[in-house]
Amino acid sequence: MKTIVRGALLIIFGTCVMIAGEQIPRKQYATVKLKILDSYGRSRQGCRVTEFHLHKPEGDAEYRGSFDALVASKIPFGNTYSVLVKCADGSIASYPYVGVTHSEQLLVLVSWIPDEDYVTGPEPRLAIAVSTDSKSRLSDHAWVKAVGVYADGTEVAQVDPVTGVAGLYSIVPGRIIILILDGEKLICTQQINFLREHAHLALSLTPDGCKA
């Protein structure tokens, strides 16, 4: 398509505009949908966007007013949005930087409210005891990795070669995947719901995997 504008040749194609031989990126927009969950994957209710802020050198811009409930259209592409969502139960979900890079963008945010003051201290929040049978042995280099299914965060710990126990000290309540590894080899995985601190999990390793 060609259009003459004030004597300049304007050619529009793809996502760029070419004016007098110079390519200028065309501004791209997205429809953004937010999904707000707790750390177990349950949907939070009554949530509203209180910040959807684009940080950029030439000047910041705020787009929270573009949201109807948790959906907004005409959100410019960008990699430096900060997001804050508040829900009716008092929970807050926030991320310092998220990107909007697709025309249909889904952003999943996780909020968590502890039932009480969360206990910290010298004891692990979750102790994992790993046992084996005659066909499933672990070396002295075995370790575990805990990964949040919904909430961000990972933690690793060595399996004590004497006691067979690995302690996790930073884990927070939520749905967790436990990976058992031996050196560089993945032995098995187990999904659990971690409910509260000072918990104990017994995992038995068999040729078919691990069982809680």
Looking at the domain assignment, is residue 61 inside a domain?
yes
Same domain, 147 and 176: yes
Q: Is residue 187 part of a domain?
A: yes
**3-state secondary structure at position 65:** helix
Q: Same domain for 38 and 106? A: yes
| 164 and 87 in a common domain | no
C-beta atoms surrounding 146 within 10 Å: 21
Last residue of a domain, one of 110, 136, 164: 110
Calculate the CA 101 to chain-centre distance: 17
Phi, psi for 44 (deg, rounded to 5): -80, 145
167 shares a domain with 105? no
Asked if the structure places residue 175 within a domain, the reply is yes
Distances from the Cα of 130 to the Cα of 148, 171, 175, 210, angstroms? 20, 18, 19, 9
Task: Check whether residue 207 and residue 131 sit in a common domain.
Answer: yes
Q: Using an 8 Å Cβ cutoff, are 149 and 174 in contact?
A: yes
Asked whether residue 9 is domain-assigned, the answer is no
Instruction: Give the whole-angstrom CA distance, residue 10 versus residue 190.
Output: 58
Q: Are residues 162 and 103 in the same domain?
A: no
Name, in order, each residue with C-beta under 8 angstroms of 88's C-beta and a sequence gap of 6 or more: 45, 46, 47
Question: What CATH number is attached to the domain comprising 132?
Answer: 2.60.40.1120
Domain containing 176 equals: 126-211
Question: Does 161 reside within a domain?
Answer: yes
**97 and 143 housed in the same domain:** no
Residues 91 and 135 in one domain: no
Please indicate, yes or no, whether residues 156 and 184 belong to a single structural domain of this protein: yes
One-letter amino acid at 30 equals A
| Distance separating alpha carbons of residues 137 and 157, to the nearest angstrom | 18
For residues 67, 73, 76, 78, the Cα torsion angle rounded to the nearest 10 degrees is: 70
* The CA-based dihedral angle spanning residues 187, 189, 190, 191, taken in that order and rounded to the nearest 10 degrees: 170
pTM for the complete prediction?
0.77
**What 8-state DSSP symbol labels residue 70?**
T
Averaged in consecutive runs of 10 residues, what is the pLDDT profile of the chain (212 residues)?
42 47 69 95 94 93 96 94 93 91 94 62 90 82 95 93 94 93 93 90 86 83
Q: Are 204 and 137 part of one and the same domain?
A: yes
196 lies in a domain? yes
- pLDDT at position 117 is 54
Q: Same structural domain for residues 158 and 84? A: no
Judge whether 11 lies within some domain: no
Task: Give the domain CATH number at 53.
Answer: 2.60.40
Work out how many domains the chain is built from and give that number.
2
- Quick one: 188 and 143 in the same domain? yes
- Residue 15 inside a domain? The answer is no
At 21 the pLDDT is 53
Cβ-contact 144, 187 below 8 angstroms: no
